[in-house]
Amino acid sequence: MNPLVALGLPLDADERAVKRAYAQRLKSTRPDDDPRAFQDLRELYEAALACVRSRHVIESANPGEQASARAEGGGAAPAAEGEAGPGEGARDDEPESFSLDLNAFLLALGERIRSGDAQALPAWLARETADWPWAVRSAVAWHVLRYVHDETPEIGPKPLEAVIAAFGADDVLSGCDPLAVEMLRRRAVELGDLSRRRATVSALLEPGNRKDLADHMRGLGGSRSVTRFAAHVLTAPRARTWARFASRAPFVTGRVMGFVRRLDEGRVQALSPAIAPDVVEAWFEAEARNARSFLSSGFVFLGLLALVYLFAHSWADGPVQNAREVAVVRVVEEANRRLAAGSLISLIFKDDRAAGDLDAAIRGYDRVIRDPELIVTPAIEHAVALAYYNKALALDLAQRKEAAASAYGDLVRAAGTFQNMIAKQLVVRGLVDRGRLAFAAGAFDESYSSYAQAIERFDREADVGLAPEIASALLGQANVLARKGQIAEAGGRCDETIRRFGHMTQPSVQETVAAARKLKQSLGGDPV
Amino acid sequence: MIVGIDLGTTHSLIGAYLDDGPQLFPNASGGLLTPSAVSVDEDGGVLVGEGARDRLLTQPDRSVAHFKRWMGAARETALGNRRFRPEELSSLVLRSLVADAEAATGVRPTEAVISVPAYFSDAQRTATRTAGEMAGLRVDRLINEPTAAALAYGLHERRGEGRFLVFDLGGGTLDVSIVEMFDDVVEVHATAGDNFLGGEDFLDVLVAAALDDLKIAPEAVERAEMASLRRRIERLKTSLSQAAGAASVELVAVGRAHAWSIDEARFALLAEPLMQRLRIPLERTLRDANLGPSDLDEVILVGGATRMPMVVRAVSRLLGRLPLRHVDPDHAIARGAVVASGLKARSGTLKEVILTDVCPYTLGTDVVRQDGSGGYHPGFLLPIITRGSTVPVSREQEVSPVEERQTKVEFNVFQGENPIAEKNVKLGSLLVPIPAAGPNVDRGVLLRFTYDVNGILQVEAKVKATGATHELILRQSAGALSERELRDRLAALAELKVHPREKQENLALMARAERLYEEQLVDRDRLQAMMLAFRGALESQDERRIRHERSAFADALADIERVR
């Protein structure tokens, strides 16, 4: 029933009449006497008011009628009389008293954000929006955030918070999708971390800082000769030096550059101004031709360095408390150093020169894994998981493939229930790596089920950190299916990978998505 | 008899709706404002009001004020050799107010309407009712402070219709409400506030500036010195409010006297961060009520802190009009509470008016959201009762488990406006078992939130498949007392020796003399002589002599204070 009729009013009743009818009924339906009946009356009243007001808006949309409505209202009728409700009056007036060039504002905002002066932004926003009515701010909040999302991908956490606060988007009733706002926040935080990391790396890559870079890499693990060599490659100031290295050791150069590219997120051109971008592109093309080996062994190596790099920082201020926990972390750290050295050596020289380092690393991890008194507390979950994972990695590098596969199995069994996010990441990565090993060994069913486990167990984790692994697992399944001749299913997996991860900006995910597109094409179908 | 009480951060007032309208009752010292301060003397006797406030300076370890700010928390304050919860301290103030009402009317009140800041949470409201219970009052009704102020203003100043904004900046809290009156209905449209912004914060700013200027570390100032410092600066703040230009004050800190002066312009500059915070609730109420400043018929300032010129300026600037102050800002809320008590008693002399209020904050539970790529993101707030809903209100929302193998659903109940659940105030949680997944099994849970006129929330979860209902008891929150604790506390309070009302006046005078003695270096001999004489009179227990000495003593003290 029409709420006006339910209140006993004619369909053309005005706001004043609605209020009068409500007040009349309220006398017999007091809020403290009968809450339920009051709530019903209240809902009826609000519906009736909305009804009258929407009619008013429609009328004002027609200028002729608006004029006559105003004349009828008798401009002299003061708001206190309740005639037509003061609220409506204001809405009519607003376009006259306030006008806004949203596009110009957005352009200026983008300019401000790009200028990178995070301190000045809140004050600028406050000044610019000082006389915006709140109704306008909340109406444009979503547009502004969309603009910030699309046009200023480099926005950091602080300026973003300033924008959110200025437009009241951090309010449950603001009408901005909170999930989208949260995603935007996460992106800003991730980019903030990235730009800090990027700044460190670019500073180290200045030719004058070669020694610092060598030290830095030593800090990550690796022997003196290896790090010196790598530092030399990375900071080579002249294209000719690069070219010489590239021709002599294309594989190594590619590895190291890949590492840097990983750290630097695709900005390899910034490495050394002397190198023409097209030369770098050519190297990468050569690299892409060798895609398969890049994805198998190279990937492992890059993953490892990134990992060690990560832990070198996170352990420093982690919540590790007692002596026993500290001891575990120390042992794993020491073994990591040997592993990093071993992996660099094995990748550069491709012979058994690395065996000593790798064995030492494996022994170190075993000290943790085989310790009968080991109690895994939340503080060391990630260290223990890393011991399992890196042991498998070391076995893999030492070409002991079967032992590596079973070590990945141990990882899943031992760390499968850990709650630590990094431990979870390692477990899913272990599953993916095992799938890859099995694939290489021709054990397709085993490979498929390993990938399936990864997807099944971790696909629902809310954290975006697992996206690279889940994407690789899906692609891995596609590869297995393709090899087994189930072309349609393989194509389906490729499509899923592209559909789900295509929008993500993480380079490792993008690599997987690109590989999925390629596979899909080679299967003879257009990627979605 | 039902009384109306304003239980404020700095002052409290009591009154009742009598045949000739709302009436506020004076305390033993004759004032309407009783300082919300409690002190325990060396014999374990309790003092409330003026005397207790004076003793903040002379016996800082045995005296306390501003405990309203701790309501709803489990914090205890040691006074002498006893520890008090904020509810207990408030109940002592309430008892003293009740005695004043009884002295004025000859009837002991048994029931009260107490005003609370609109933005008070469930725990804080419960604590306020507990304080009433401890003072022997039935508190069926709590009224939001700005609503009370609007009621007092609307019924006694305008008697008409219209829409107005009440800006209530008290000692410890800020509330803003938009109220409309028509056809004997007083309707609150929207309310917003800041539970931790009030006159005391402005005082803190001044104290910090003074110590900074005089290069004194705050830690180096003793408690008694600090109390005296705050009192003097409070007076300076008042004089800054009354006249333009600079004001100066003599401060005693770390055993030395210092002169310090400040002008209003600098004070305004120092208080700028606080002024920024005034703006937020003001804008939010307008936005929530979907009104512009021009839609308001009037803007009313309530609360002692609105006497500061900078606050008036800020409100005028933000709303583009000059605010009004018809009712005495210190009395408005109490008057409103009294009117509400009259309405509650359905007093025949009061025109029948119906008041509807709103829920000032959003209440909801946390849910998991799914993004475009199928990933789950936990911790988002699902609003069930949105802020600004007219109360009483009851709303239901269906929630379903995320996981197939899930056998329980945990509901966390939150109060607040942030879309990220954990950035709000958590009120409690409820674990509901659900049936295992299967074909044709409806695994939904109906979550019902009911918010009553007193601002007390009830949460009920109904499992659709089994019909089983689970109720959330919010009293289990950290700050609340259990039934047993409450009984024990009541028994302990009964044993407490509270000085009777007649004696309170004498004690307050002595406390004031002691405070003056501490505060100044001249007139000390005269003060000492007077204190001795008054003590002698008290010991004689001769009522006539005490009365005589008392008035002379009070006049002399007033004289000394005026000169300074």
Q: CA dihedral defined by A193, A196, A197, A198, rounded to 10 degrees?
A: 120
**pLDDT score at B104:** 92
**B80 assigned to some structural domain:** yes
First to last CA, chain A: 49
Question: In chain B, positions 340-379, which contact chain A (CB-CB < 8 Å)?
Answer: 352, 354, 356, 362, 364, 368-369, 371-378
A322 lies in the same domain as A425: yes
**pLDDT score at A147:** 85
- Structural domains in chain A (count): 4
The CATH number linked to A339 is 1.25.40.10
Q: Is B411 helix (H, G, I), strand (E, B) or coil?
A: strand
Q: Helix, strand, coil proportions of chain B in percent (round to 5)?
A: 40, 30, 30
**A239 assigned to some structural domain:** yes
Interface check B291 vs A, CB under 8 A: yes
Q: CA dihedral defined by B413, B415, B418, B422, rounded to 10 degrees?
A: -40
A282 lies in the same domain as A250: yes
Interface check A54 vs B, CB under 8 A: no
Determine whether the interchain pair A460/B376 forms a contact, defined as Cβ–Cβ distance below 8 Å. Answer: yes
- The string of pLDDT tens digits covering residues B251-264 is 877 778 888 888 88
**B555 assigned to some structural domain:** no
B167 lies in the same domain as B31: yes
**A502 assigned to some structural domain:** no
Of A26, A135, A499, the CB nearest to B185: A26
**pLDDT score at B208:** 92
d(CA B361, CA B388): 7
pTM, rounded to two decimals:
0.64
A191 lies in the same domain as A227: no
How is residue B73 annotated by DSSP? S
- Structural domains in chain B (count): 3
A322 lies in the same domain as A452: yes
Structural domain of A15: 3-70+87-97
d(CA B237, CA B253): 18
**pLDDT score at A56:** 62
Domain end position, chosen among B436, B452, B475: B475
Q: Is B463 helix (H, G, I), strand (E, B) or coil?
A: strand
Mean pLDDT of B121-145: 89
A428: Cα separation from own chain's centroid = 18
**What residues of A are in contact with residue B299 (Cβ under 8 Å)?**
none
Interface check B419 vs A, CB under 8 A: yes
**B298 assigned to some structural domain:** yes
Determine whether the interchain pair A134/B184 forms a contact, defined as Cβ–Cβ distance below 8 Å. Answer: no
Consecutive 10-residue runs of chain A (528 residues): their mean pLDDT? 86 88 89 88 90 68 45 38 39 52 87 81 85 76 84 82 86 81 80 62 58 55 45 44 40 46 37 40 41 33 37 37 69 74 59 76 89 78 85 86 89 84 81 89 90 81 68 90 87 88 70 83 64
Q: Is the pLDDT of residue B463 over 80?
A: yes
d(CA A324, CA A151): 50
Interface check A20 vs B, CB under 8 A: yes
**B328 assigned to some structural domain:** yes
- The string of pLDDT tens digits covering residues B163-175 is 889 999 988 889 9
A185 lies in the same domain as A218: no
Determine whether the interchain pair A39/B286 forms a contact, defined as Cβ–Cβ distance below 8 Å. Answer: no
A188 lies in the same domain as A221: no
Residues A238-253 as b/e (b if ≥16 CB within 10 A, e otherwise) read eeebbeebbeeeebbb
Nearest to B88 by CA among B62, B114, B70: B70
Please report the ipTM that was assigned to this predicted complex.
0.81
**pLDDT score at A75:** 38
A279 lies in the same domain as A399: no
Q: Which two tokens stand for residue A77?
A: 């009728």
The whole-angstrom distance between B303's CA and the closest CA on chain A is 26
The whole-angstrom distance between B434's CA and the closest CA on chain A is 21
A147 lies in the same domain as A262: no
Please give the helix or strand (H or E) that residue A486 lies within, else none: none
Q: Which two tokens stand for residue A432?
A: 């993916």
**A488 assigned to some structural domain:** no
Could you give the residue ranges of the DSSP H alpha helices within A290-380? 291-293, 299-314, 323-349, 355-369
Question: In chain B, positions 36-95, which contact chain A (CB-CB < 8 Å)?
Answer: none
Please give the helix or strand (H or E) that residue A55 lies within, else none: helix A35-61
For B453, which residue in chain A has the nearest alpha carbon? A32
Of B286, B376, B393, the CB nearest to A39: B393
Determine whether the interchain pair B185/A93 forms a contact, defined as Cβ–Cβ distance below 8 Å. Answer: no
**A276 assigned to some structural domain:** yes
Domain end position, chosen among B272, B294, B312: B272
B180 lies in the same domain as B117: yes
**A412 assigned to some structural domain:** yes
B248 lies in the same domain as B124: no
A390 lies in the same domain as A281: no
**Residue from B373, B376, B414 whose CB has the most chain A CBs within 10 Å, to mutate:** B373
Q: Is the pLDDT of residue B431 over 50?
A: yes
Mean pLDDT taken over chain B? 85
**pLDDT score at B347:** 64
Give the torsion sign (CA, A275, A279, A281, A287). Answer: negative
B91 lies in the same domain as B119: yes
Of A24, A39, A172, the CB nearest to B419: A172
Cβ–Cβ < 8 Å for A433, A408: yes
**A493 assigned to some structural domain:** no
Determine whether the interchain pair B182/A38 forms a contact, defined as Cβ–Cβ distance below 8 Å. Answer: no
Structural domain of B394: 363-475
B432 lies in the same domain as B344: no
A172 lies in the same domain as A243: no
Q: At a CB cut-off of 8 Å and minimum separation 6, what does A397 contact?
A: A300, A342, A343, A346, A354, A358
Question: In chain A, positions 492-511, which contact chain B (CB-CB < 8 Å)?
Answer: 499-501, 503
d(CA B564, CA B560): 7
B14 lies in the same domain as B54: yes
**B504 assigned to some structural domain:** no
Q: Which two tokens stand for residue B366?
A: 């946390």
- The string of pLDDT tens digits covering residues B190-237 is 999 888 899 989 999 999 999 999 888 888 888 778 888 888 888 888
Rg, C-alpha atoms of chain B: 26
d(CA B467, CA B445): 9
The CATH number linked to B429 is 2.60.34.10
Percent of chain B exceeding pLDDT 70 equals: 94
**φ, ψ of residue A408 in degrees (nearest 5):** -60, -40
Domain end position, chosen among A443, A458, A473: A458
**pLDDT score at B54:** 86
Domain end position, chosen among B449, B475, B501: B475
B159 lies in the same domain as B46: yes
Question: In chain A, positions 22-41, which contact chain B (CB-CB < 8 Å)?
Answer: 22-24, 26-27, 30-32, 35-36, 38-39
**B185 assigned to some structural domain:** yes
**What residues of A are in contact with residue B352 (Cβ under 8 Å)?**
27
Cis peptide bond N-terminal to B392, omega within 30 = yes
Spell out the SS3 assignment of B325-382.
CCCCCCCHHHHHHHHHHHHHCCCCCCCCCEEECECCCCEEEEEEEECCCCCEEEEEEE
The residue to which tokens 């352009």 are assigned: A107
Mean pLDDT of B93-97: 94
d(CA B112, CA B5): 7
Q: pLDDT band at B394, cuts 50/70/90?
A: very high
A177: Cα separation from own chain's centroid = 17
- The string of pLDDT tens digits covering residues B329-370 is 888 899 999 999 988 887 666 677 888 999 988 999 998 887
User: Which of the pair, A305 or B401, is modelled with greater confidence?
Assistant: B401
A108 lies in the same domain as A196: yes
B27 lies in the same domain as B118: yes
d(CA B77, CA B177): 33
Q: Is the pLDDT of residue B19 over 80?
A: yes
Q: Is the pLDDT of residue B154 over 70?
A: yes
The length of chain A in residues reads 528
B332 lies in the same domain as B417: no
d(CA B192, CA B361): 8
**Residue from A170, A172, A177, A187 whose CB has the most chain B CBs within 10 Å, to mutate:** A172
